[in-house]
Amino acid sequence: MSTIRRRVVVRGYVQGVFFRDSVRRLAERHGVAGWIENRRDGAVEAVFVGEPAAVERLIEFCRQGPRGAHVDKVEVSEEEPVGETGFSVR
């Protein structure tokens, strides 16, 4: 099974709407490692590491966000996996 790593930056009204916790629960459900955090510029940034289909599920969720969020833009970049385990909210 191949493992991929993606860095995702989500812009819009994405803080204060349980975005990070919603992503954490979804990541744990799908066996995706990594982290998510609020940025000072109002965006949310995350790293997802796992099986390609599972990582893509999380990216697709980020394009909509939880109820109350308004996503304007999602930037996705490919990175090399570096052995992350577990998923954390920073």
- Determine the Cα angle at 49 with ends 85 and 69, to 5°: 110
Closest by CA to 26, choosing from 67, 54, 63, 64, is: 54
Residue 61 near residue 45 (C-beta atoms within 8 A): no
20 annotated active-site:
yes
Q: Which of 20, 29, 39, 63 is catalytic?
A: 20
Q: How open is the CA angle 69-77-52, to the nearest 5 degrees?
A: 85
Active-site residue numbers? Answer: 20, 38
